[in-house]
C-alpha cells in the first residue's frame, strides 16, 4: 500500500529555519509504523523524486520568511518544473514534476509553511515558532493517524 511521505527541511543552525525539521523529528516519535516515511533534511535534493513516486501522499514542511510567526499555513502543491536551478537542491514542485517525468507518477502533496521570526544563527527556535511547531505536530498527528493510508 502507498504510504505517507513527510519531508521536514531546513537549516537547524539558522534559528527558525529549522522549524520543518523540528516537526519531522517530533512526528517520528508520534507516527510510527510502515504507513509513514519521515525524513528530516538539510535541503531538498533531486534524488528524492524516487521516494515521492512511491508515496501515496506527500507532506512538505518548511519555514517561511514571510507571514506572522506563531502560526502555520497550508499550501496545496502542483508539479511545476524548475529548470536550470534543479541541480543539487530543488523545490517541492520541481521534485513532484521530476517524480512524474522519471517514474510515471507523483503523489498528492501539501506544503506546510511555518513563518519564522529569527533566521540568524541561534540553533534553537523562537518562542512563537515553537508554538507553531506544537500546533502543527498535533494537527498532523491527529489527522494522519486516522486518515493516512497504511502500507
Q: How far apart are CA 100 and CA 109, in angstroms?
A: 13
Radius of gyration of the chain from Cα atoms?
15
88 binds another protein (CB under 8 A): yes
Among 25, 37, 73, 86, binds another protein (CB under 8 A): 86
Q: How many CA atoms lie within 13 A of 138 on its CB side?
A: 8
Of 70 and 93, the one with the shorter C-beta distance to another protein is: 93
Q: How far is the CB of 83 from another protein (least distance, A)?
A: 5
Nearer to another protein, 39 or 131 (CB): 39
Which letter, b or e, does each residue of 20-50 get, where b requires 16 or more Cβ atoms within 10 Å of its Cβ? bbbbbbbbeeebeeebbbbebeeebeeebbe
Residue 101, interface with another protein (CB under 8 A)? yes
User: Interface residues with another protein (CB under 8 A)?
Assistant: 41-43, 45-47, 49-50, 81-89, 94, 97-98, 101-103
Amino acid at each position: 500500500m502507498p504510504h505517507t511521505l513527510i519531508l521536514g527541511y531546513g537549516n537547524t543552525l539558522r534559528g527558525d529555519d529549522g522549524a520543518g525539521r523540528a516537526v519531522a523529528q517530533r512526528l517520528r516519535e508520534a507516527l510510527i509504523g510502515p504507513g509513514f516515511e519521515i525524513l528530516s533534511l538539510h535541503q531538498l535534493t533531486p534524488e528524492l523524486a524516487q521516494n515521492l513516486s512511491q508515496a501515496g501522499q506527500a507532506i512538505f514542511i518548511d519555514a517561511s520568511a514571510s507571514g506572522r510567526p506563531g502560526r502555520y499555513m497550508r499550501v496545496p502543491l502542483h508539479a511545476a518544473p524548475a529548470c536550470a536551478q534543479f541541480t543539487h537542491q530543488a523545490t517541492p514542485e520541481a521534485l513532484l514534476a521530476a517524480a512524474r517525468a522519471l517514474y510515471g507518477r507523483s503523489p498528492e502533496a501539501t506544503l506546510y509553511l511555518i513563518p519564522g521570526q529569527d533566521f540568524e544563527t541561534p540553533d534553537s527556535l523562537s518562542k512563537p515558532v515553537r508554538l507553531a511547531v506544537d500546533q502543527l505536530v498535533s494537527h498532523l498527528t491527529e489527522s494522519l493517524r486516522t486518515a493516512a493510508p497504511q502500507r
